[in-house]
Chains A and B, each alone.
Chain A
Amino acid sequence: VVYYGPAYAGKTTSLRYLSLRLETDVKELPTTDDRSVFFEYTQSQKLPANDLQVKFLYWTLPGQQKYRRTRHLVLAATDAVVFVADSQYEAAPRNLEMLNDLEELLSDRGMCLEGRQNLALQPIPIVFFYNKRDLADVMPVPYMDTLFGLPSWPARRFAGEATAGKNVVRAANAAAAVALRRLEERIYGPENQDVPAETE
């Protein structure tokens, strides 16, 4: 599961909160010589799901332009995306820019976001997480829904605060659940539609 979104939207904060709840470490992969920018990942224990033992791996990717190809590299193996959007008004263009960037990179790998129907491409589920809802003067949720085109795009959406952990686990669970459903479909065939209950 890849956490995607503009720089400073709260991807790392979300991942760190998630790792606390999962009681696992966050591993940092340095990206530059100045040691300040990292790719990070954390992983769950193996969890039983039907006949499978599943381990979820959660990645964050730096949003800066210079890491575009590296994002491309990590996205190649993604099963689901949590798009962390910054709810502040001034972040609206950056949010859209990163969503376009995500779609472009997926399309290069023969994939598209689920709900953006393109029968030729492999659909990747996406869950939106509107972060920083605790700040004053943020975009209203329906406004953000319209910004991302959610009225005509059946993608799940959560509004929360990564710093307080509000809805972070719910968003991660929603992404993990759809990723698991896809995995089961690949293994058992599309008729298996059992989706595990979403719990925090």
Chain B
Amino acid sequence: VPNRKRSLPKLTTVTDEQVTEINRIHFSFPYNFASPPRPGTKTALAEFIRDYEKEFPYALRDLVDKLKLDSFSAESFDHHIDRNLLATPGHLSAVTVAKLIHYCLLILESEAEIIAWERIDFGIPRMPDAHEIARVVAAKVNRYENRTKIPEYDHVGQFLSAVKHPVIGRAVSNAAINRWGLSERIGLPAPC
């Protein structure tokens, strides 16, 4: 726990009320959060979050729950998420973790669309895969001299902070690979 003076959070398993609230989050794509590459069945977000409760504990309730924030934006992320504590076990509630996963996937969707349109401009018919989208996201952040120079409201910087949380990172990775696929030749330029 980074701050020793801070009282330890009340940890909890994911309650039925939280599952209901997570199921209310609207995704524009029917993401599958099951482990890739060839998931047998579809795993919903609430189910995925519940599966991880023993490996990475959630807080009973956090600031975002108290403020009744529906979803994240660049501003609300910056105001209500402590990037230093974000990946601390028990810092975020299960519902907040779900909302952050939703926010991260919106960011990935926007990056994927930019890449897809650029490819159309260059006459490349193939859509980007999850690996290529991740590479573009990393390249954007690497343009800044160092991490402290990333503007506070940069979506991509916020994305990279959020995925440090193991449950968010795993969920976003699973959903992205199941959504966009993964080039077979990881580490090599993808075929055009």
Hey, which bits of chain A sit against chain B, CB under 8 A? 27-33, 35, 41, 57, 64-70, 72-74, 76-77, 108
Distance (Å) between the CB of B55 and the closest chain A CB? 30
CA–CA, A68 and B113, complex, Å: 8
Q: Mark B140-163, 1 if CB is under 8 A from A, else 0.
A: 100100000001011110000000
CA–CA, A133 and B113, complex, Å: 34
Which residues in B have their C-beta under 8 angstroms from that of A72? 106, 110
20 pairs across A/B with beta carbons < 8 Å? A27-B153, A29-B151, A29-B153, A29-B156, A31-B114, A33-B136, A41-B153, A57-B153, A66-B116, A67-B114, A69-B109, A69-B113, A70-B110, A70-B114, A73-B74, A73-B107, A74-B74, A76-B73, A77-B75, A77-B76
Which residues in B have their C-beta under 8 angstroms from that of A74? 73-74
Chain B residue nearest in CB terms to A34 = B118
By DSSP majority rule, is chain A's interface helix, strand, loop, or mixed? mixed
By DSSP majority rule, is chain B's interface helix, strand, loop, or mixed? helix
- In which size bucket is the chain B interface? 20 to 34
Hey, which bits of chain B sit against chain A, CB under 8 A? 28, 71, 73-76, 106-107, 109-110, 113-114, 116-118, 136, 139-140, 143, 151, 153-156
CA–CA, A85 and B109, complex, Å: 28
Cβ of A73 and Cβ of B106 under 8 Å apart?
A: yes
Chain A residue nearest in CB terms to B120 = A66
Cβ of B110 and Cβ of A69 under 8 Å apart?
A: yes
Chain A residue nearest in CB terms to B109 = A69
Cβ of B117 and Cβ of A66 under 8 Å apart?
A: yes
Cβ of B113 and Cβ of A66 under 8 Å apart?
A: yes
